[in-house]
Structure 1
C-alpha cells in the first residue's frame, strides 16, 4: 500500500471511490470508502498525488488532504470525461475514479486552484445576493402579471414598481377583490424583506472589498466597483495558475469560438464558458467604462472611443470586458497597481533601451 504514488478520488455525499496506482501505473487499490473513513485512510498513507474533480465539497476535502501533506489537484469535469473507459455509455463511480487518476497523469493537464475558507465565505455572500436578486425579480414579475389581470398596469423598472405598488393595490376604484388585496399586500412585505437582505449583503461585500488588499488594488481599474473586485478575489484562488491574461479571459468565456481548419481561421461568438457570474460582472463594468470613455483622455479610453466608432457598441462591450479580464489577471497575478498608460510607458522604455 505504501507504493501508491497517485490516487484518483470520485467524490460523493456519503461514499467516496478511490483508485490508486504505483509508479509503474499498476493499479494498487480500488475501493469505496464511507465519508467517515475517508480522511483516516489518507492519514495512514505517505504523501502522494491526490486528484479530484472540481465539484461540490472538493475545496473542503482538498484543504484537509493538503494539510496532511498530500499534493491535491482539482481537475475540471470536462477534462476528465475523455479518459473514462467506455465513454458516456459506461459511467459509474469506479470508472470515474480511474478516469480522474488517468487524467492527473497527463503532463499538460490544467488544474483548478483550491479556494481558502475565507474565499468560500466571501462567495457565500455573493451567491446569496444573486439568489435574492433572482427571487426579487421573479416576485416583481409575478405581482405585475397578477395586477394586469385586474386592469392595473404598472411601469417597467423595479424602482417605479416599488413606489406605486401599494398605492395601486389599495386603490378602491380598481377591480381587485378583498382577498386579492390582502394576498398582494402580504407579498409587499416579502419584497421589503428581500430588499433588506440584499442591502445587508451589499454592505458586507463593500466592507470586504475595502479591507482586502487585492480587492482594493482591483478597484483601481476603470469601471470596477466593490462587487466585482470582491467577486474576482474570491473566485480566483490563484491568478498565477494562468500563464497569461488571454488564458484567464478564455477561462471566463470572453474569447471567440473557433472552428478553424486547413489554415483558415473561423471565429464566432464568445464561448460563454467558465464562471458566468464573474463574466456578467465584467460585462457590466464594461458598460460603465464605455460610457465614461468619451470624457477621458488616457490611452485605454481613446482606444475604446475609436473601437466604438469602428465596430459598434455591442462588440465594443465584449472587447472591453475581455480587456478588463486581461488587466485583472495582470493586477492579481503580478500584484501590480493598475496604470491606464502602462503600454505607452513600456514602449517609451523600449525606445530608450534601443
Structure 2
C-alpha cells in the first residue's frame, strides 16, 4: 500500500490541516487527528531512525452511524390492488447497517408465503398480489450498533373499486317506529356514498331522514336513520358507493309489520307443530332417531327426520315471505 509521511519530529509534512503532532518529552510523540472522518481509517506507523530502525504500527477503525440514502430507497407508492410491489431501503454506515421493516400501526407484515411477521429483515420487502390490507405506512429502520439508528417512513397506497356488504337485507318495522338501516363499503380512493329509493330518488338530510357516514381508513359505515316510519317509507332502499374506479350498490327492503303478520306466523307455527304431532302418531308415538337408525343398520330414520326438517324449513320461509310481500 502507498505510504504517506505525515510528520517528521515536531513538523507536520502533510497538507491535511486536521493532522497535528506534539512532543511532550524526549521519549514521547503524539499524532493528533481532528474531526475524524471515515477516510482516516487505516494503518498508522511511528518510526525511529536508529540502527537498526524501529517502528510500531496501529490500526485506526472509524465507525459511522447509519444514514438512509435517498436513492435507491423507495418513496411513497400508489398501486392498484393485485399488483406486485418492492419496497427498497438503502443505507450507508460503518459497519454496514442492517435493515429491518415494520408497520407503523403495529400490524403484522404479510409475507409472500402467506405467513405473518411483526418485522422483516432485508433491504427489499417484496409484496406480491397487493390487497387493501397491505395499505399503510411502513418503517425502514437502519442500525449498525453505532447510535443513533435512523428510519424512513414509506406509505403504500392501494387503489381498488368500491365494494358494499349489507348486514341485513330484509328489515321489518311498524308504522311510527324509529329505524336505522346500515351498509358497509370499502373503496380507495375514498368513495362518494349516498342513499336512494328504489326509483332513484336520492335521500337527503331532512325532517324524517338522517344519512350518516362513519369513516375509518378505506372503510365507511353508511347509516340511514329514519325518525318515524310512515306508510310511504316502506319499500326498497339502496346504498351506493362510487369512486374513479367503479360504482356498486346494495339494497335493503323495509316491510311493514302488523298484528295480522304476527298472528299468521303464529298460526303457521302451530300448523307445523300439528304436522309434527301427526307424524308422531304415525310412528306410534316414537320418532325415528339418528341413533336408532344407526343401531338398526337402516338410514330410514335419518332420511325421514331430515326430510321433515327440510319440509318445515320450506314451509316456514314460504309463509314468512308471503307475509312480507302481502
Given the two structures, how large is their TM-score scaled by the length of structure 1?
A: 0.20
Rg larger in structure: 2
Given the two structures, how large is their TM-score scaled by the length of structure 2?
A: 0.21
Please identify which structure carries the higher helix content: 1
Please identify which structure carries the higher strand content: 2
